[in-house]
Amino acid sequence: MLVLSPATAHDLAALQVIERSATDLYYEAGFSRLAIRPRGDDDMRALLGQTTILLARDGDDAIGYVSYYPRGPYMHLEEIAVRRDRQRRGSGRQLADQVLAAARADPQCSHLSLVAFCRAPWALRLYDRLGFRPLVALPGPLPHAELLNELLPEAAADEPRQVMVMPIAS
């Protein structure tokens, strides 16, 4: 059974193992090592300081994490990472469900947002099943859409990304 708890600086090594394992999937799918890099120690420390990170454990075994933070009317899902040997067992879904619960508990929040690589079908399938839709496919204007457009980094032409959004039903 998975147990989720807030990550701390003591969990840095476990978070980095998960990050490297999840990143390998992108390399095997043909992504460049320049476009996808696992976070180093400093980057992971920064992520810990800037976002909420929940670490998923199965017993003593750290198997995944989710990182998220509020951004205006959006709860932004920064990253879901699950160790390769533990993928396709519902762990990513459980992690995403925790972000949805946090968003629903925030009275300021109306939507979840994330940025996805367009060439990562395994991630896009998960996001679609969760209810995320590409921003460009949504009807009508969203509140503070400029916040969403700011999420897209300057990406290499061979690694396009898209903002995806999911409304929160209370």
Return the closest-CA partner of residue 126 out of 93, 159, 167.
Answer: 93
pLDDT tens digits along 10-47: 999 999 999 999 888 889 888 888 878 888 889 999 99
- The 10s digit of each residue's pLDDT in 106-163 is 998 998 999 888 888 888 988 999 899 887 766 565 655 666 666 666 554 567 788 8
Q: Is the pTM of this model over 0.95?
A: no
CA distance 24 to 36: 9
Closest CA to 53 of 9, 91, 118: 9
Closest CA to 117 of 146, 143, 80: 80
2 secondary structure, DSSP code: E
Helix (H) or strand (E) holding 128: helix 121-130
- What is the β-pairing status of strands 74-82 and 111-117? parallel
The Cα 142–Cα 156 span in angstroms is 27
- The C-alpha atoms of residue 126 and residue 25 are separated, in whole angstroms, by 15
Structural domains for the chain: 2-167 (3.40.630.30)
- Asked if residue 61 has pLDDT above 60, the reply is yes
Two structure tokens written together for 7: 């990550």
pLDDT value at residue 144: 58
